[in-house]
Amino acid sequence: MGREFLVRTDHSSLKWLHSLRDVEGQLARWLELLAPYRYRIEHRPGVKHQHADALSRKPRRRHQGSESCPGCAQEQIGVNALGLQKWTSEEIRESQKMDSDIRQAMELLAHSDGEITEEHLRRISPTARRIIERRRDLEVSDSEVLLCHTASRRQPQVVLPRNMLRAVLEEAHGGRSGGHVGIFKTKEKVRQSFWWPGLGREVEEHVKACLDCTKAKAGKKPIAPMEPIPSSSPFDIVMTDVIGPLPRSKKGNFYILTVQDAFSKWPDAYAIRNQKSATIARVLFERWIANHGCPRVLHSDQGRNFESGIVRKLCELLGVKKTRTSAYHPSGNGQAERFNGFLKNSLRTYLVQKGQNAWEEYLPSALMAYRSTVQASTGYTPYYMLHGQEMPLGFEPEDLRRKTDSYPLFVQEISRTCFMPMNAFEKDARRFSDGRK
């Protein structure tokens, strides 16, 4: 980046790129992206610039009979493998053996006969000592993977080797299932499957250093006071709202209809072309009610699209009570507003490098991120609240997957974890809200 270079082009307007004042929008983002580079722009008329046109011409197709280079094929396989994939127990076990800190800790645990002295601890690295400090929680799985299992965790955590750490951080925060959530929620997402000494500090440093978050996220806004939500079971009370208009998506949509269950915090979001009441009524029935059943209450703001005769008629036919916020009182629909804020921030961060009209493509990724993120008001992820287990995100080892041969026991466990008394959730939610004021 430190070496100056010349850009010669037939696009004369580019000469004025650095002389523009008060630049905004996409052009400002381009200038920010180019800022680290030292370059000069020189105009050359198109008639003298013909040799560069080859870059924009359609390339010749490779002859079908040609053979690929084995070396190049091997390199391509390596490139594809850079994306975070689900690791096998064997891969994790071998990585743990190659990690000097984990290896020292495992060897000490295996040969100390349960008694570890100060002399033992002086012989190992500081990181290995921190692992040994958790020895009451350590266990070795059937596949010889070192796990950390505390009473406060619903499932054991893999003691993560250093060479896998960066991939986990990038996926948990900025990957398809990450959503660029904040420090607390990224920590909780990582802790669902992994542990290593210094996890909290390294997650915090990674999130603070995320360039996409810095560019995309706005300043923190005041939080509306918590309103009581007397929901007693999943899909009892449903909150809904509309985001938009947004830039036209590649499929021709301009709005997002958001729907969220007040009990489990399970959300959904549907790209729609317009926000007419007929469109909203149809999508609510076909996409939400057909999948989750009829709620007891449908709650929204006072938008005409929700208060129209069509939506009210749908609620009347299905036996759903329609409620709304009072005028100029957004805290009455605060849960929907907070989810909308997450969704807009998440999409904005995903689209820093992709262009604004790609928002619909990343909508499923943002939803996956929210559903697999611990909610401070409940202490659980929305996915866990509905399914009784954490969402498989693709990188958990098989050792952490729940296994059962008994359907009744599985249903009993789900009932125990999912249908807790609502007053406990409401108490925690209010305490969380009051603490953030």
- The answer to whether 359 touches 142, Cβ cutoff 8 Å, is no
Beta bridge partners of 64: none
pLDDT number for residue 261: 94
- pLDDT tens per residue across span 305-336: 888 888 888 999 999 999 887 655 555 567 88
What residues contact 228, with CB distance under 8 A and at least 6 apart? 426, 430
User: CA-to-CA distance for 121 and 109, rounded, in angstroms?
Assistant: 11
Placement of tokens 């449903």 in the chain = 238
Closest-CA residue to 269 (of 243, 297, 307):
243
What residues contact 328, with CB distance under 8 A and at least 6 apart? none
Tell me the two tokens of residue 313: 């008629």
The 8-class DSSP code of residue 175 comes to S
- The answer to whether 255 touches 271, Cβ cutoff 8 Å, is yes
- The answer to whether 181 touches 173, Cβ cutoff 8 Å, is yes
What residues contact 227, with CB distance under 8 A and at least 6 apart? 331, 332, 334
pLDDT tens-place values along the chain, 437 residues long: 567 888 888 777 777 776 777 777 777 777 777 777 888 888 777 667 666 555 555 554 444 444 444 444 333 323 233 334 567 788 888 888 898 888 888 888 777 666 777 777 888 888 888 888 888 888 888 888 888 887 777 778 888 888 888 888 888 887 767 778 888 888 888 888 888 888 888 888 888 888 777 766 655 555 555 555 566 788 999 999 999 899 999 999 999 999 999 999 999 999 999 999 999 999 999 999 999 999 999 998 877 888 888 888 899 999 999 988 765 555 556 788 889 888 988 888 777 667 788 899 989 989 998 999 888 888 888 998 888 778 887 766 665 565 666 667 666 666 665 555 344 555 555 555 555 55
- The answer to whether 330 touches 223, Cβ cutoff 8 Å, is no
pLDDT number for residue 252: 94
pLDDT number for residue 81: 30
Q: What is the DSSP string of 23-39?
A: --HHHHHHHHHHTT--E
Question: Rounded to 10 degrees, what is the CA torsion of 12, 13, 19, 22?
Answer: 180
The CATH number corresponding to 89-216 among 1.10.3720.10, 1.10.340.70, 1.10.1740.10, 3.50.50.60 equals: 1.10.340.70
The one-letter amino acid at 151: A
**Domain definitions of the chain by residue range:** 5-56, 89-216, 237-416
pLDDT number for residue 44: 78
pLDDT number for residue 319: 92
Topology given in CATH for the domain delimited by 237-416: Nucleotidyltransferase; domain 5 (3.30.420)
pLDDT number for residue 53: 56
Tell me the two tokens of residue 280: 């909203």
Residue 259 three-state SS: strand
Tell me the two tokens of residue 317: 């036919």
